Amino acid sequence: MSNTTFEQIGQVLREHQHFAILSHVRPDGDALGSQLALALSLEQLGKQVRVWNEDGMLEKYSFLPHADLLTKPPATAEDFDVAIALDTAIQNRLGTTVAAVRSAKIWINIDHHLSNPGYGDLVILDPSAPATGEIIFDLIKSQGLPLNHDIAENLYAAISTDTGSFQYPKTSGRTFEIAAELVRDGDLDVGKISQQLYENYPRRRLELLRELLRTMRFTAGDRVATFSLSLKTAAKLGVLPEDNEGLIDHLRAVRGVIVAVFFEELTEGKVRVSMRSKDEAVDVCAICQKFGGGGHSLAAGARIRGSLAEVEEKVLEEIREVVKRGP
């Protein structure tokens, strides 16, 4: 945990009026759920809050309570007392939301990414937390901030998604305690939330998986598994960027696979690389940092200039080096 205390953050939240709450591009459940939860709690305190993400609210998370609070940033910048970045490893992953904050007296950075350099005036970094939602829960509880059903549901969604439904290694006893408290005190319907999160995909997501599996490759003695998505295939299927979240888990789930990699061709002559590891000895955050990216030791990403084939070759070479040294 870094040096800013929850008390200092709590004081800043109580003493100011205008807040901007931001998160990373290509958001996930943790980013969006954490933003909405903190925003709703501040609104309960009578604060004025803007909740922005470069990509706006995703269709698949639009069931979250008060999802309509979260919008794309406006073209005209606004002035704030406090801007808060949530779940965002490096400032430039806030994307176009930063330009919509014309001024902010204080920048707060609350995150759980190992690679976060600690930008901002007040920083709460806890790489041991499995989700930013868990840190927001602790902030709310420790500072006696409002917590109601809608806030609880957003936090539960944040924690459920970032722990892979309470499966990933950072899931702790404390995570279950927090989830239990959210379910009990927020009177949450776990079955319904889980169905909305995990059993409500559009059919095209499965069609995308079928195409990805056609490109599946195993290398490094079958310890590294990859698949890729070209712009052409994405256009043919009419998929949205959000459709591929989680598909990489199919590669990681194979016995013997240590590293899973997903390569996605982007329009700007770049490739988005998504990486997962099943072994603490293979730190995919370190590998991604070599390419200007970051993340967590077992889940990381980067955006790399080049064609699909070029990036695949460069990245696989780097991974093979590390896996070779491994167990």
Binding residues for ligand AMP, rule: CB under 6 A, are 24, 89-90, 93, 113, 274, 293-296, 299-303
**Residue number with CB closer to ligand AMP (148 or 215):** 215
The residue behind tokens 């491994």 is: 326
Of positions 31, 84, 251, 304, contacts Mn ion by CB under 5 A:
31
Radius of gyration of the chain (CA): 20
**Residue number with CB closer to ligand AMP (69 or 302):** 302
Instruction: List, in sequence order, every beta strand (DSSP E) within 77-178.
Output: 78-86, 101-111, 122-125
Q: Nearest 5°: phi and psi at 43?
A: -60, -35
**Residue number with CB closer to ligand AMP (188 or 299):** 299
Q: How far is the CB of 317 from Mn ion (least distance, A)?
A: 27
Residue 48 is classified by DSSP as E
Q: How far is the CB of 103 from Mn ion (least distance, A)?
A: 26
Residue 29 interacts, among Mn ion, ligand AMP, none and using kind-specific CB cut-offs from 5 to 8 Å, with: none
In contact, 263 and 226? CB cutoff 8 Å = yes
**Residue number with CB closer to ligand AMP (127 or 326):** 127
Residue 301 interacts, among ligand AMP, Mn ion, none and using kind-specific CB cut-offs from 5 to 8 Å, with: ligand AMP
Question: Of the listed pieces 25-33, 57-65, 203-211, 278-286, which binds Mn ion according to CB under 5 A?
Answer: 25-33
Instruction: List, in sequence order, every beta strand (DSSP E) within the chain.
Output: 18-23, 48-52, 70-71, 78-86, 101-111, 122-125, 217-219, 224-229, 259-265, 270-277, 294-295, 299-305
Q: How far is the CB of 80 from ligand AMP (least distance, A)?
A: 24
**Residue number with CB closer to Mn ion (241 or 306):** 241
Of positions 28, 54, 81, 312, contacts Mn ion by CB under 5 A:
28
Per DSSP, the three-state class of 47 is coil
30 binds Mn ion (CB under 5 A): yes
Residues 124-163 interacting with Mn ion (rule: CB under 5 A): 132, 162
Q: How far is the CB of 296 from ligand AMP (least distance, A)?
A: 6
Q: How far is the CB of 292 from ligand AMP (least distance, A)?
A: 7
Contacts of 161 (CB under 8 A, 6+ apart): 28, 29, 30, 33, 131, 197
Contacts of 97 (CB under 8 A, 6+ apart): 20, 22, 52, 53, 54, 73
Residue 300 interacts, among Mn ion, ligand AMP, none and using kind-specific CB cut-offs from 5 to 8 Å, with: ligand AMP
CA–CA dist 60, 29 (Å, integer): 9
Residue 61 is classified by DSSP as G
Q: Provide the b/e sequence for 37-61 (b: ≥16 CB within 10 Å).
A: bbbbbbbeeebebbbbbbbebbebb
Q: How far is the CB of 30 from ligand AMP (least distance, A)?
A: 8
264 binds Mn ion (CB under 5 A): no
87 binds Mn ion (CB under 5 A): yes
**Residue number with CB closer to ligand AMP (80 or 263):** 263
Question: Of the listed pieces 82-90, 148-156, 203-211, 228-236, which binds Mn ion according to CB under 5 A?
Answer: 82-90
In contact, 293 and 273? CB cutoff 8 Å = yes
CA–CA dist 265, 230 (Å, integer): 5
Question: Applying CB under 5 A, which residues contact Mn ion?
Answer: 28, 30-31, 87, 132, 162
